[in-house]
Structure formats: structure tokens, C-alpha cells
Amino acid sequence: MTRENIENFSAAHAEPDWLLQLRLAAFDKLDSLPLPVIERVKFHRWNLGDGTLAESEAIGTVPDFTALGDNPKLVQVGTQTILEQLPAELMAAGVIFTDFYTALEEIPEIIVQYFSKAIKYDEDKLAAYNNAYFNSAAVLYVPDNVEIEAPIEGLFYQDGSSAVPFNKRVLIIAGKNSKFTYLERFETINPSDTKVSANIAVEVIAQEGSQIKFAAIDRLGEQVTTYMSRRGHLMDDAHIDWALGVMNEGNVIADFDSDLVGRGSHAALKAVAISSGRQVQGIDTRVTNYASHSVGHILQHGVILERGTLTFNGIGHIIRGAKGADAQQESRVLMLSDQARSDANPILLIDENEVTAGHAASIGQVDPEDMYYLMSRGLDQSTAERLVVRGFLGAVITEIPVKAVRDEMIQVLEEKLQKR
């Protein structure tokens, strides 16, 4: 890790001085900042970044995009942008969905205003690492009062044959009273035995009165060790409905956070996760109510197969002054193996009176009575078990706003269960 490496990369991409200074400030903080706190997960020896700032090599096999629809879309493989698709009427309305450097040319003042606003460069070591060493990024900007009916898709592929770290940044800015649905996929293609780290930071800036439905499926490969941070910054009366499927094959720690800084802001986060093999996943889901009458709800369900480990930390924090705030959370884990390991850890931090807060958490195995009932109707044990699991996760999957994404989650679940 050297300052010269950062300076050379920044100069090669003609980055503005403010961005270079941000990278260098983050670099200078790396040695002094702690790792993020993910309760009950031992990840401190994981390789989560080696300080390489480089671009991907030439791409070998790329996905076939011929079957993709004509809705707004951005596709990146590694550090390279492969496809941009934005209807003319959205371009005329001022919508931008493009790679980071193009956005810097088109809306520089907006990028300066909001980049690193939700995820501060000095909040922990992994946030600083991403700010210093992100090697590709995407920007979605929806201006004030623009409503988009068709889902907007961001497809971000990690090339499994490449040793270049997958350090990605995504910045989403929703203007005042805008409304749209965003679908995000992180997926490994060309899998190989090449081990690599991924540090991914997604910032969502929801301005006053905006409404965002954010759905994602994470499917990074077995050789990818991942830190994933998704953070919403919600202003007055803004809404974000998160629906996240954590279905990676490798070890993962994740922060899914919503900062309710505006009066009447609302975040509802629903997440499903599956751990299998010897995989370790630690997921922190946090909602912080800074403003009065803000609402934050968390619902997360997980399934563990074989010797997998899954930890849910649900954190609701109501800050002093947030009168009338509401913080609710529910975390439930279903274990399908005696060798599985899990924690469902609810945390409520209440610093104000006249608020509402609650939590629920459970860990257990498949109910023998459910299995007995299904098998008594002629189903074999494997089929009965899959039905129970689908019913368990269905409460979350059905909330995903796009049918194609729901079907994909069910397909991934089926594939994992059939491998047992």
C-alpha cells in the first residue's frame, strides 16, 4: 500500500483533486482505524483487501445480454462497463445511469455533494479502504419529481479468473419526490480457484419525499471473501424499502444500514440469507432513528446447511430527540444440520422517551410435526424439507417487488438445497 500507487491511478483516470485528496485522506487513516464491529463473528484474519489499486485484465467469457429487456440497465464486469441502456425519455428527463467517470463529467457538482455522504471515509478501516482503493464505480441519479415505472437494473459481475480485487462503489441519488425501483446483482462469472477479496460500498441518498424500492441478489463465488456495505441516508418523508438476498458462496460480512435523518422518514429492510458448506456469514442490519416520527423495521430470515455459520445482528437505535420514532426488528434462523452454527442477536438502544420499539429472535430446526404432516401426504423427506424452507423464507421473498427477482431467489435456494 503506497500513496504513489493511489496518485498514479488517480492521475491515469484524470480524477479531480477533491477525489484524490479523499483517497489520500482515507489511505492515511487505514492504520489507525478499527475494523467494523460485527458481533459474534471472527473475521479479523480474513483477507479483505491487499492494497492493490488496478484495473481488470481483458475479459474472457462475458454473459449473454441478448435476452435482457429494454428497461434501464448498466452492466459492468470487473472494472469495465459492458453495457449502458437508458431510454431516450429518461435521458430527456435528466436521469443518469452510467459509470463513475462519465457521471463526474455530466453532474460533477452533485457527485461532490453526495459522494461519501452516507458512508464516511473515516468511520472504520474497511470504509477507508474502499474510499482509498475503489477501482470501479457506478452512479444512478434520478432528478426531482421524476417517476420511473420500469425497474432500473445494475448488474455487477466479478470475473472469477481475475486476481484483481473487486473494489466497487455504487452511488444512488434520488431527487426530491422521485420514485423508482432499483434491482442490483453482484455475481461471479468464470469461476476458478483464484482467491480474491471484494469490498463493496453502496450509498443511497434519498432526498425529501423520495420513494425507492431497492432489491438485490448477491451471488459472489466461493473464492471471493466479501465485505458488503449498503447504507441509506433518508431525508424528510423519504422511503426506502430494501429487499436483499444474500446468497454468496464465500465468506461474507455485511452492513445493511439506514440512517433516518429526516422527520417522517421510513426504512423497511427485508433480508434472506443462506449459508452452506463451511461458509461463514455475519450480517449487521441497523436502523438509526435520528429524526422525530421516523420509522425503521427489520425482517431477516436465514437458512443454514451442512457446517455453515450465519449470524444476524439486528440493531435499532433511537437517538435522543427522535420523539415518536418507531424501531422494530425480527430475526429468525432455520438450521438444517446438527453441525450448523447460528446467532440471532437483537440489540435495541433507546435514548429517547415517547417512542415505540420491539424485537423478536429465534433459532431452531425444522419442526418434526411439519415434516410428519408433509411426509404423511406422500412426499419424500427431501421434498418436504424444501417446502418447509421455502415457506420459512417466503415471508421475505414475497415482499420483493419484481417477480423475476423472486423467481431467481427461489431458483438459487432450490439449487443450494439439492446439493445437500
Instruction: Give me the residue label for grid cell 432500473.
Output: 152
> Left if phi > 0, otherwise alpha if psi is -120 to 50, otherwise beta: which for 411?
alpha
Domains of the chain by residue range: 3-365
Give the per-residue pLDDT at 368.
85
pLDDT tens for each residue of 289-331 = 999 999 999 999 999 999 999 999 999 999 999 999 999 999 9
Please report, in tens digits, the pLDDT of each residue of the chain (420 residues total).
789 999 999 999 999 999 999 999 999 999 999 999 999 999 999 988 877 777 766 565 566 665 567 889 999 999 999 999 999 999 999 999 999 999 999 999 999 999 999 999 999 999 999 999 999 999 999 999 999 999 999 999 999 999 999 999 999 999 999 999 999 999 999 999 999 999 999 999 999 999 999 999 999 999 999 999 999 999 999 999 999 999 999 999 999 999 999 999 999 999 999 999 999 999 999 999 999 999 999 999 999 999 999 999 999 999 999 999 999 999 999 998 889 999 999 999 999 999 999 999 999 988 888 888 989 999 988 888 888 888 888 877 887 777 877 888 888 888 887 776
Taking alpha carbons only, the member of 140, 145, 138 closest to residue 93 is 145
Which residues contact residue 353 at a Cβ distance below 8 angstroms, ignoring those fewer than 6 apart?
323
Q: Which residues pair with 245 in a beta bridge?
A: 217, 272
* Residue 24 vs residues 5, 113, 125: alpha-carbon distances, Å: 10, 19, 14
User: Could you tell me the pTM of the whole model?
Assistant: 0.95
Say if strands 80-85 and 266-275 run parallel, antiparallel, or are unpaired. unpaired
